[in-house]
Amino acid sequence: MSTQAIRFDYNNVMADVIGEHGLTEAEIEAALPHAAAAIEAVYAQRAELGWMDLPYQDTSEIIAQAQAVRARADTLVVLGIGGSALGPIATQTALQHPFYNNLPRELRRGPTLFVPDNVDPELNAGLLDVLDLERTVFNVITKSGTTAETMASFIYFREALAKRLGQDKLVDHLVLTTDPKKGALRQIADREGYPTLPIPASVGGRFSELCSVGLFPAAVTGIDIDELLAGAAYADKRSQERDPRKNPAAMCALIQFLLDKKGKNMVVMMPYAQRLRDVADWFRQLWAESLGKRVDRAGNVVNVGPTPIKSLGATDQHSQVQLYAEGPFDKLMHFLFVDQFQVEAPLTNAYPDINELSYLDGKSFSQLLKAEGEATQLAIAEAGRPSIAHHFPAVNAFTLGQFYYMLEMQTAFAGELYDINAFDQPGVEAGKIATYALMGREGYDARRHEIEQARGRSRSEFVI
């Protein structure tokens, strides 16, 4: 066992600790064969699941391109959405200074990083206001190479670059990360000669953080990407254990599956560390798109899927915890705890004469945050609500890579337990098609007509 291993404990899901809303030892025991079968089923598909091999990739091309960008840019802007933005954001938040972009250059490990992650006009026009385009590189990331939001962003910023610097300079300011063969962005890259990085064909968007999608922006900003992969490789080894009791990802998947069957169909991820805030956001996509499905593998309508919710300790103690402690018994919580923060931030003995404050004397932010996390988990357990605790020895590239991979494996195992395809997302297509119709894309006229007619029938609205 590595000293960098994340420890997860599920004491507080057990019925003998939290009462009737927990799981009994017998319930877990009875489900172990199902979990063992899920493990086998995932490994039987390993050849098609390219993300499972990412810990072992050769990173030299990514590092070489990152070095080249570091030499010519003060700012990197990532243009992507969904799986092409959430991972880069989560890694940056986890591993960099909390005010990274505001640090003086000599204290930063690399260029500043912006990931606008939306097509809001004010956001993107506003970003242009603060960029020095001469010293900015845009990394356009899209697996499909056609996503409307990303391609619109590419067109917008490419035009700004061309106007400001001239067409012939574009190749120095764009790096395109996309499918090696398919998609509009690949076609553009080939035609206009931009540097590119491949997203392997067998790596889907929400499982792409550990390929060029997440590794390139991380390497540009000075993160040790080989260490991220070393952590993921460690989690891979742990996930290969065929006995579910020895396999953290499988056990975690099983507990969530069993609790879902008992009505705990919401999963709250609540890190007690600012660094892990956006990991909860990344996890939301992973869990939601993978497990939220209409049909099972045999085509039966099942409409399954636990709802992932992101939360943050201690911040959301003052906004959400009332609901988690006393609302419906429909949630399982994941607490993410950190043993060792990079700084402690001590408090002085400022008001020894004021009774209500003297308990803070000589303590630190780190002590307060840890105490609040432990206290919240305890209070939630005493209110009869299940929770899992994930203890990070520290937040670093190794533990982050380990956690990403563990959650990906957990998701794959859960897909088998639910007997659904965890790797497609047919439910987002309808919205895309309607967007194309509304935007006047060729071939979508009939759909546009239907939408316009439906608008005409709208009755349930009024002006406040």
Task: Give contact residues for ligand G6P (rule: CB under 6 A).
Answer: 81-84, 142-144, 147, 150, 205-206, 289, 425, 428
The distance of closest approach from Cβ of residue 405 to ligand G6P in the complex, given in angstroms and rounded to an integer, is: 18
Nearest-angstrom CA–CA distance, 198 and 61: 10
Closer to ligand G6P by Cβ: residue 178 or 399: 178
How far apart are CB 282 and ligand G6P at their closest, in Å?
A: 11
Half-sphere exposure at residue 162, Cβ-oriented, CA atoms within 13 angstroms: 8
User: What's the Rg (C-alpha) of the chain?
Assistant: 24
- Closest CB to ligand G6P among residues 96, 147: 147
The DSSP annotation for 151-173 comes to HHHHHHHHHHHHHHH-GGGGGGT
Nearer to ligand G6P, 102 or 435 (CB): 435
Smallest distance from the beta carbon of 233 to ligand G6P, in angstroms? 24
Active site residue 372: no
3-state secondary structure 189-258: HHHHCCCEEECCCCCCHHHCCCCHHHHHHHHHCCCCHHHHHHHHHHHHHHHCCCCHHHCHHHHHHHHHHH
In this complex, which beta carbon is closest to ligand G6P, that of residue 80 or of residue 248?
Answer: 80
Strands of 313-392 (E only): list them.
Answer: 331-338, 387-392
- The residues with which 301 forms a beta bridge, in sequence order, are 295
Of 275, 225, 220, 228, nearest to 109 by C-alpha is 220
Query: Whole-number minimum distance, CB 187 to ligand G6P, in Å?
Result: 14
Give the active site residue among 261, 432, 449, 452. Answer: 432
CB of 183 to ligand G6P, least distance (A): 8
Task: Say whether 382 is catalytic.
Answer: no
Residue closer to ligand G6P, measured from CB, 22 or 83: 83
Shortest CA distance to 404 belongs to which of 291, 272, 307, 286? 286
Q: Is 289 a catalytic residue?
A: yes
Nearest to 385 by CA among 284, 269, 259: 259
CB of 178 to ligand G6P, least distance (A): 8
CA distance 254 to 252: 5
- How many residues can be counted in the chain? 464
Q: Which is nearer to ligand G6P, 181 or 246 (CB)?
A: 181
d(CA 220, CA 218): 5
- Write down the catalytic residue from 20, 318, 326, 461: 318
CB nearer to ligand G6P: give 37 or 155.
155
Q: Which residues share a beta bridge with 138?
A: 77, 174
Could you tell me the smallest distance in angstroms from the CB atom of residue 213 to ligand G6P? 8
Q: Which is nearer to ligand G6P, 260 or 289 (CB)?
A: 289
Using the Cα atoms of residue 72, residue 77, residue 83 and residue 86 in order, give the sign of their dihedral: positive
Cβ atoms 118, 126 nearer than 8 A:
no
Q: Is 403 within 8 Å of 395 (Cβ atoms)?
A: no
Catalytic residue among 149, 209, 289, 408: 289
Longest dimension (CA), the chain: 75
Q: Least separation, in Å, of the C-beta of 398 and ligand G6P?
A: 25
Q: What residues have CB less than 8 Å from 125, skipping those under 6 apart? A: none
Nearest residue to 150 via CA among 129, 125, 131, 124: 124
Q: In this structure, what token pair is assigned to residue 331?
A: 């949630």
Cβ proximity to ligand G6P: between 150 and 396 the closer is 150
Q: How far is the CB of 447 from ligand G6P (least distance, A)?
A: 18
- Please count the CA atoms within 13 angstroms of the CA of 1 that sit on its side-chain side: 8
Strands 136-142 and 174-178: parallel
- What residues are annotated to the active site? 289, 318, 432
